[in-house]
Homo-oligomer: A and B are copies of this chain.
Amino acid sequence: MANILRIRLDTKTYDITPVPDKYRNLGGRGLTSRIISQEVPPDCHPLGADNKLIFAPGILAGSSVPNSGRLSIGAKSPLTKAIKEANAGGAAAHMLARLGIQAVVLEGCAEQWTALKIDKTGLTFFPAAALQAKGIKTCIDSMREIHGDSVSVISIGQAGEMALTAAGIAVTSPDHFPRMAARGGLGAVMGSKKVKLIVIDDAGCTPPEVKNKALFMASVKAFTQGITSHPLAGGLKRFGTPMLVGLINELGAISTKNYSQGKFAGAEKISGEYIAGLLDSRPNGENSHRCMKGCVISCSNIYTDAAGEVVVSGLEYETLALMGANCMIDDVDIIAAMNAVCNDFGLDTMDVGGAIAVAMEAGVLPWGDGPKALQMVFEIAEDTKMGRMIGNGCKHTGEQLGITRLPVVKSQCLSGYDPRVLKGTGVTYATSPMGADHTCGNALPSPANPSYDPSAASGQAPVSQFLQRYFAAIDTLGLCLFAALPPLDMPELQKHLIDCVSAILDESLEEQYLMRLGGMVNEEERKFNKAAGLGRQDDRLPAFFKSEPLWPSGNRFDVSNDELDSVHN
């Protein structure tokens, strides 16, 4: 990977140039955030011509390090008005790496709806008017028909075209399911540039050369053995992330009824165990599915209906928590249908779920009314005022309806973990440059670390700080979170992972490499956000988490502001 592909949409021109020194040895989130910091005016409008949309495979992409195919997508976010990176699995990152492309930078705005194709000959612009107002499935099917089944497609649905702040960007898995880089409204940025989709075709390419082959082979082997031997692997393979429904509900921390409860009476009916049994019994249902080549965990599923028709792949914890428990909906078929519609329109299920719960709190529809909630999601692509309200996410919906209990930080809806029980996660929600986001540092209890109390009022900042740096580094490597969790319990795996990076970069990296890298990424992101106008007051949880006790624990979020501020000091 040695080139940057810059695409100037207003003039329909592009160039492919060697990576300059300032972007060397970076990938994924570290690279998207570096390019934004260097090239995007912090005070620009996120949907204007000055914003840039950047796609970057991680440092490990294209290699045989397992689970290393996450694609980072970055821009200034129309939701958080801050720097943003969202990543997804799928096939595109590995392909870009094989094409020798370390980042694709979309600049300016096209005049007409445009499709792009990247292959070994360079870039081609196509008109995309025929796909306007079409869903993501149609985009993928249409591209497969034209370009064959071996391409990967990055596309937006109606939501991105409509500039909705809950619009995400879909990246196809090897078997052509859409995986969403969902958060922060990056789909709206792609829509503002009038780019409907990007086809990536790596035919004729070879994987990037690894400099230190001997070290690499040995390290990959040891790392792979380590993560597959970790106790987490078995659970994820069988139940996937829905496994968390039972665990987090048991902790009293699952987002329920717009974050007014920590336990959901219907948890069992949306649990990993229940879903696994259901999919075992249904034709074509699959509980152990990979979203990218080289995955050794297979945490995804293929959710089918009773007739065996695919509804969605995969149905994840965050969707079950935000569209299920948080809306008091305990019908997993309805939740899967809502998820499928979001995946086709190109929407973040979390912010949309948060929006529906707020609408329920406002009395727009009854708590737990799955069919009405599904109808509401359908309305988004119909471009009704209701649809546009919900499609702009939790905060916008709450503001429109006059609801004060809005579970958002930097305007982004929280994940499915209540910060009154999981206070380290709460510190991450509050202080991450990304806005509320569990993937930036979710401080769950772990058998390997029995002394950690997730509900203690103090001592959470160092935990969150460590995790925020660690996962910023992981996002820069392009590694899946679930390959990154075992090394937290097994320090020798961190060494193997760093050795993989050393072999690829042909540099001898020190033991603290990940902390140094992640710290640097967070710091650059904070600096951009400061220049964009964000300050300490944006590093806070909404007041109701401090004042309202959570049922049943009675916990409040009582980490001090000083401790929150210490994360970045």
**A-to-B contact residues, CB < 8 Å:** 42-45, 47-48, 50, 162-165, 188, 191-192, 384-386, 388-389, 392, 396, 399-402, 404, 531-533, 535-538, 540, 542-544
Closest chain B residue to A402 by CB distance?
Answer: B163
Whole-angstrom CA separation of A48 from B402 in the bound complex: 11
B45 touches A404 (CB 8 A): yes
30 contacts between A and B (CB under 8 A): A42-B537, A43-B537, A43-B543, A44-B543, A45-B542, A45-B543, A47-B404, A48-B404, A48-B543, A50-B543, A162-B402, A163-B401, A163-B402, A164-B402, A192-B402, A384-B385, A385-B385, A385-B386, A385-B388, A385-B400, A388-B401, A389-B389, A389-B400, A392-B399, A392-B400, A396-B396, A396-B400, A533-B535, A533-B536, A535-B535
Whole-angstrom CA separation of A544 from B386 in the bound complex: 29
A377 to chain B, nearest CB (A): 15
In the complex, which residues of chain B have a beta carbon less than 8 angstroms from the beta carbon of A401? 163, 388
B402 touches A399 (CB 8 A): no
A364 to chain B, nearest CB (A): 9
Closest chain B residue to A386 by CB distance?
Answer: B385
Apart from the given pairs A384-B385, A532-B537, 20 other A-B contacts in the complex at a CB distance below 8 Å: A43-B540, A43-B543, A47-B404, A48-B404, A48-B543, A50-B543, A163-B401, A163-B402, A164-B402, A385-B385, A385-B389, A385-B400, A388-B389, A388-B400, A388-B401, A389-B400, A392-B399, A531-B537, A533-B538, A535-B535
Whole-angstrom CA separation of A533 from B163 in the bound complex: 27
A537 touches B542 (CB 8 A): no
A537 touches B543 (CB 8 A): no
A501 to chain B, nearest CB (A): 36
A192 partner, pick from B384, B404, B531, beta carbons under 8 A: B404
A168 to chain B, nearest CB (A): 15
In the complex, which residues of chain B have a beta carbon less than 8 angstroms from the beta carbon of A389? 385, 388-389, 400
A188 to chain B, nearest CB (A): 7
In the complex, which residues of chain B have a beta carbon less than 8 angstroms from the beta carbon of A43? 537, 540, 543
A445 to chain B, nearest CB (A): 30
Give how many copies assemble into the complex.
2
Output the residue of A42, A44, A536 with the most chain B CB within 10 A: A536
A515 to chain B, nearest CB (A): 29
Whole-angstrom CA separation of A289 from B191 in the bound complex: 52
A402 touches B188 (CB 8 A): yes
Whole-angstrom CA separation of A401 from B533 in the bound complex: 24
Whole-angstrom CA separation of A47 from B47 in the bound complex: 30
In the complex, which residues of chain B have a beta carbon less than 8 angstroms from the beta carbon of A392? 399-400
In the complex, which residues of chain B have a beta carbon less than 8 angstroms from the beta carbon of A404? 45, 47-48, 192
In the complex, which residues of chain B have a beta carbon less than 8 angstroms from the beta carbon of A400? 385, 388-389, 392, 396, 400
A185 to chain B, nearest CB (A): 10
Whole-angstrom CA separation of A531 from B561 in the bound complex: 13
B399 touches A165 (CB 8 A): yes
Whole-angstrom CA separation of A164 from B165 in the bound complex: 20
A533 to chain B, nearest CB (A): 3
Whole-angstrom CA separation of A407 from B45 in the bound complex: 13
A78 to chain B, nearest CB (A): 8
Output the residue of A48, A385, A533, A540 with the most chain B CB within 10 A: A385
Closest chain B residue to A164 by CB distance?
Answer: B402
Whole-angstrom CA separation of A295 from B475 in the bound complex: 66
In the complex, which residues of chain B have a beta carbon less than 8 angstroms from the beta carbon of A544? 45
A85 to chain B, nearest CB (A): 21
Closest chain B residue to A543 by CB distance?
Answer: B45
Whole-angstrom CA separation of A533 from B538 in the bound complex: 7
Whole-angstrom CA separation of A403 from B332 in the bound complex: 36
Whole-angstrom CA separation of A47 from B538 in the bound complex: 18
In the complex, which residues of chain B have a beta carbon less than 8 angstroms from the beta carbon of A538? 533
Closest chain B residue to A359 by CB distance?
Answer: B385
Whole-angstrom CA separation of A494 from B542 in the bound complex: 46
Whole-angstrom CA separation of A389 from B401 in the bound complex: 9
In the complex, which residues of chain B have a beta carbon less than 8 angstroms from the beta carbon of A543? 43-45, 48, 50
A281 to chain B, nearest CB (A): 40
In the complex, which residues of chain B have a beta carbon less than 8 angstroms from the beta carbon of A42? 537
Closest chain B residue to A387 by CB distance?
Answer: B385
Closest chain B residue to A406 by CB distance?
Answer: B45
Whole-angstrom CA separation of A532 from B392 in the bound complex: 24
Whole-angstrom CA separation of A77 from B48 in the bound complex: 28
In the complex, which residues of chain B have a beta carbon less than 8 angstroms from the beta carbon of A396? 396, 399-400
Whole-angstrom CA separation of A50 from B404 in the bound complex: 12
Top 7 nearest A-B pairs (CB, nearest first) are A163-B402, A533-B537, A385-B385, A385-B386, A47-B404, A45-B404, A388-B400
